[in-house]
């Protein structure tokens, strides 16, 4: 199997279609390992990994930790209130400490855009961005593409509509870059105040009318309305948002018959997506979670273990 010829995974903007394809193909083999009775391979035995989470996370953190365990890596996780950010240690000093502990790969989630690139620049270890501010969340983009590919058999020429708070969403950014590189058509919809101020460089279509945006879509992806990131006044109320931009079964009728409904989680039920839709037959919300472990195993393998015998 090939190797990823890069030290870090910071975002999908900088990644080629070939690299994305390699990761998605590798993830398929990894999923087989997950389906075994004894979910353990020695691939990363003796390799040390740090999960550094400056922001709360359930899915991403658990999924990275599981991926590490399945592959026999030695890993530690530092998170939330126990982290040194709370104690006022600078990222620079944290980096120096990581270095002398001999850690080979750092997975970081951080509230500031660009912090993953800061870490990568200052560290010899591999860095995997598990979400930096509003910038990128590349493993989420990859697991979403893996899920779509798995269900649809292709990414090329698929019409994907992403709905909601694109402006503050690192998930949306990674999906936009990744999907476009793989030949999908991406449109976004939602209130204009929740769109990035200038979308020229993304080269995507903004369709303010949700019904028009959904029409003929192969994939409809809702985003969490990140209340914690809202500067005041970007939309009036949650109930108005739900009424104007919430996904529900009636709205999704305009999409293609076999359209997939996706959401990166955690879900605000009844706000950006109705329970009926989220739990319904077209929803692949939980498949996304399963894909997450496989994709993260693939990335760890390709970054850390690809040159070794399995």
Partner 1 sequence: MKTLFIKGGRLIDPSRNYDDRADLLIRDGLVEAAEKNLKPPDGAEIIEADDLVVMPGLIDMHVHLRDPGQEYKEDVLSGARAAAAGGFTAVAAMANTDPVADEPTTIRYVADKAAGAAARVYPIGALSKGLQGAELAELGRMQKVGAVAFSDDGKPVLNGTLMRNALQYAGGIGALVIVHEEDPTLVGKGVMHEGSISSVLGLRGIPAAAEEAMLARDLMLLKMVGGRLHIAHLSTAGAVELVRKARADGLPVTAEVTPQHLLLTDRAVKNSGYNTNTKVKPPLRSEQDRQALWEGLLDGTIDAIASDHAPHHSDDKDVEYDFAPFGIAGLETTLSLLLDEVAFGRIKKLTLPLLVEKMSTAPAKILGVKGGSLKPGSPADITIVDSGRSFTVNPDTWYSKSRNTPFAGRQLKGAPVYTILGGRIVMKEGVVADRE
Pick the binder of partner 1 from 198, 228, 258, 309 (CB under 8 A): 198
Could you tell me the smallest distance in angstroms from the CB atom of residue 148 to partner 1? Answer: 23
Of 146 and 177, nearer to partner 1 (C-beta) is 177
Determine the size of the site formed for partner 1 (CB under 8 A): 28
By CB under 8 A, the residues from 157 to 176 that bind partner 1 are 170, 173
115 lies in the binding site for partner 1 (CB under 8 A): yes
In the bound state with partner 1, the residue whose beta carbon lies nearer, of 11 and 305, is: 11
Contacts (CB under 8 A) with partner 1, residues 214-253:
231
Among 19, 55, 65, 132, binds partner 1 (CB under 8 A): 132
Residues in 72-91 at the binding interface with partner 1, rule: CB under 8 A: 90-91
CB of 202: closest distance to partner 1 in angstroms? 7
| Position among 110, 159, 180, 263 found at the interface with partner 1 (CB under 8 A) | 110
The single residue among 134, 149, 213, 252 that binds partner 1, judged by CB under 8 A, is 134
Comparing CB distances to partner 1, the nearer of 191 and 306 is: 191
Instruction: Tell me the three-class secondary structure of the chain, residue by residue.
Output: CCCCCCCCECCCCCCCHHHHHHHHHHHHHHHHHHHCCCCCCCCCCCCEEEEEECCCCCHHHHHHHHHHHHCCCEEEEEEHHHCHHHHCCCHHHHHHHHHHCCCCEEEEEECCCCHHHHHHHHCCCEEEEEEECCCECHHHHHHHHHHHHHHHCCCCCCEEEEECCCCCCHHHHHHHHHHHHCCCEEEEECCHHHCCCCCHHHCCEECCCHHHHHCCCCEEEECCCCHHHCCCCCCCCHHHHHHHHCECHHHHCCCCCCCEEECCCCCCECCCECHHHHCCCCECHHHHHHHHHHHHHHHHHHHHHCCCCC
Instruction: Say whether residue 96 binds partner 1 (CB under 8 A).
Output: no
User: Interface with partner 1 includes 180 (CB under 8 A)?
Assistant: no
Q: Which residues bind partner 1 (CB under 8 A)?
A: 13, 90-92, 110-115, 117-118, 121, 132-136, 170, 173, 196-202, 231
């Amino acid at each position: 199997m090939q190797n990823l010829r890069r030290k870090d995974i910071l975002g999908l903007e900088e990644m080629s279609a070939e690299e994305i394809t390699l990761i998605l193909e590798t993830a398929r083999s990894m999923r087989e390992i997950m389906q075994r009775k004894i979910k353990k391979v020695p691939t990363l035995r003796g390799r040390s990994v740090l999960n550094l989470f400056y922001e709360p996370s359930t899915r991403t953190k658990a999924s990275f930790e599981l991926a590490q365990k399945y592959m026999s890596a030695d890993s530690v996780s530092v998170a939330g209130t126990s982290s040194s950010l709370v104690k006022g240690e600078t990222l620079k000093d944290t980096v120096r400490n990581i270095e002398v502990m001999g850690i080979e790969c750092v997975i970081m989630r951080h509230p500031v855009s660009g912090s993953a690139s800061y870490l990568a620049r200052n560290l010899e270890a591999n860095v995997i961005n598990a979400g930096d501010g509003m910038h990128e969340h590349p493993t989420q983009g990859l697991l979403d593409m893996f899920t779509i590919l798995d269900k649809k058999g292709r990414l090329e020429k698929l019409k994907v509509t992403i709905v909601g708070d694109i402006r503050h969403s690192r998930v949306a950014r990674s999906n936009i870059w990744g999907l476009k590189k793989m030949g999908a058509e991406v449109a976004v919809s939602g209130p204009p105040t929740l769109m990035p101020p200038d979308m020229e460089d993304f080269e995507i279509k903004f369709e303010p009318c949700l019904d028009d945006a959904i029409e003929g879509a192969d994939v409809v992806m809702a985003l969490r309305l990140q209340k914690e990131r809202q500067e005041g006044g970007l939309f009036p109320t949650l109930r108005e948002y739900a009424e104007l931009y919430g996904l529900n079964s009636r709205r999704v009728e305009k999409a293609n018959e076999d359209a997939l409904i996706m959401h990166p989680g955690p879900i605000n039920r009844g706000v950006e997506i109705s329970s009926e839709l989220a739990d319904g037959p077209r929803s692949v919300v939980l498949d996304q979670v399963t894909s997450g472990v496989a994709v993260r195993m693939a990335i760890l393998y390709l970054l850390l273990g690809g040159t070794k015998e399995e």
